[in-house]
Amino acid sequence: MEHHKHESTDLNHFRERLSAHMAKKGLRSTDQRRLIVETFFRAPNHISIEELLSDVRAQDPKVGYATVYRTLKLLTECGVAFERRFGDGLTRYELADEEAHHDHLICVECGKITEFEEPKIEALQESIASKYGFLLRSHKHEMYGVCPECQAKATRARRASS
């Protein structure tokens, strides 16, 4: 069940946000940037630089590492992408889709990432932030545990060894 992030998302909104940011900063639209951005939009969620680079190189083998890093930093700065760091040592990126905001359940055994949404938590967050006088910009909520499959696997292993 590979899921792609654009299914229900208005990408033009993000394209415009990026153009606005680039215009304001006097940055230029290049073949590489367009390719990287559109590839990112089409990619599965939580993509790493490595994975994205290899998708990009499938279309244009000459694109360099640094350009992907620089472009993703650009997307992060203008609020089109979020950086995420789960337990493995790499940074992953996702579309900054505030509307359909989701958080993450991460299996500590197999690394599988499950997304969830809980409006009640979102509401509580706002009330906590205002209690401390914070102006909320974004958040990260990650829950670590053992997924059903790995629990079953562990049970089976225990049974076999006894």
The residues of the shown chain that bind DNA, judged by CB under 7 A, are: 22, 26-33, 48-49, 60, 62-67, 69-71, 73, 89-91
Exactly one of 21, 57, 141, 153 binds a copy of itself (CB under 8 A); that residue is 141
The neighbouring-strand residues paired with 114 are 105
Residue in 144, 155, 156, 157 binding a copy of itself, rule: CB under 8 A: 144
Q: Could you give phi then psi for residue 130, rounded to 5 degrees? A: -70, -30
Residue 9 as a binder of a copy of itself (CB under 8 A): the answer is: no
Residue type, 92: R
71 exposure class (CB count in 10 Å sphere: 0-12, 13-18, 19+): buried
Length of the chain: 162
* DSSP element (H, E) containing 93: strand 91-95
The site partner of 10 among a copy of itself, DNA, none (C-beta below 5 to 8 Å per kind) is: none
The residue (of 3 and 62) whose beta carbon lies closer to a copy of itself is: 3
- DSSP letter for 17, please: H
Question: Which of DNA, a copy of itself, none binds 63 (CB below 5-8 Å, type-dependent)?
Answer: DNA
Binding flags for a copy of itself, 82-121, as an x/- string (CB under 8 A): ---x-------------------x-xx-----x-x-x-xx
Nearer to a copy of itself, 1 or 135 (CB): 135
Residue pair 108/144 in contact (Cβ under 8 Å)? The answer is: yes
